[in-house]
Amino acid sequence: MSFLKNVIQNKCPNCGKGKVFKTNGNPFLFQMPEMHPECSECGHKFVKEPGYFFGAMYVSYGLAVAEMVATFFISRLFVTSLVHSLLFIVAAAFLLCTINFRYSRLLWIYMFDSKAKAKAN
Ligand SMILES: [Zn+2]
């Protein structure tokens, strides 16, 4: 469970102390979250190579689809029109875009960072 706790708390996969992201981002100001290039505590590099986070887009896609499906079913409790449900889904996708960005990258780092995986086992 420390894996999930560290992902939620934005902690370094190597030491569990440093932060991965500098800022949380704000969708209303069109600001995406910014990452630290390396951990401030242990110096662990978060970006291994150019394009390292390309695969995180697939994680982000999975998160976005899950959120949209959940939003659809929750919105169906309150509205009867499919058009209104679609508006709720678009609003939720917009509001959660920075959260998806952060958690998809954090999950990607935790899934494929060998040091962190070896430490967990
Ligand atoms: Zn660290």
Query: What is the spatial distance between Cα 46 and Cα 44, in angstroms, rounded to a whole number?
Result: 6
Range of the domain at 53: 2-120
Number of structural domains, the chain?
A: 1
Mean pLDDT by 10 residues, the chain (121 residues): 86 92 90 93 91 94 97 93 95 95 94 66 53
Please state, in angstroms and rounded to a whole number, the distance separating the CA atoms of residues 73 and 76: 5
Q: Are 17 and 10 in contact (CB under 8 A)?
A: no
Q: How many residues does the chain have?
A: 121
What pLDDT is stored for residue 118 in this prediction? 60
What spacing in Å lies between the alpha carbon of 103 and ligand 1's midpoint? Answer: 17
Please choose, from the candidates 96, 107, 99, the residue with its C-alpha nearest in 3D space to the C-alpha of residue 4.
107
State the pLDDT at residue 115.
62
Ligand 1 centroid–CA 12 distance in Å is 5
Based on the number of CB atoms within 10 Å of its own CB, is 80 exposed (0-12), middle (13-18) or buried (19 or more)?
Answer: exposed
Q: Which ranges of the chain does DSSP label H, i.e. alpha helix? A: 2-8, 56-78, 82-95, 97-112, 114-120
* pLDDT number for residue 112: 87
Report the pLDDT value the prediction gives residue 121, as an integer from 0 to 100. 53
Q: Residue 36 in contact with residue 19, Cβ under 8 Å? A: yes
Are 102 and 24 within 8 A, CB to CB? yes
Report pLDDT for 56: 95
C-alpha 37 to ligand 1 mean position (Å): 11
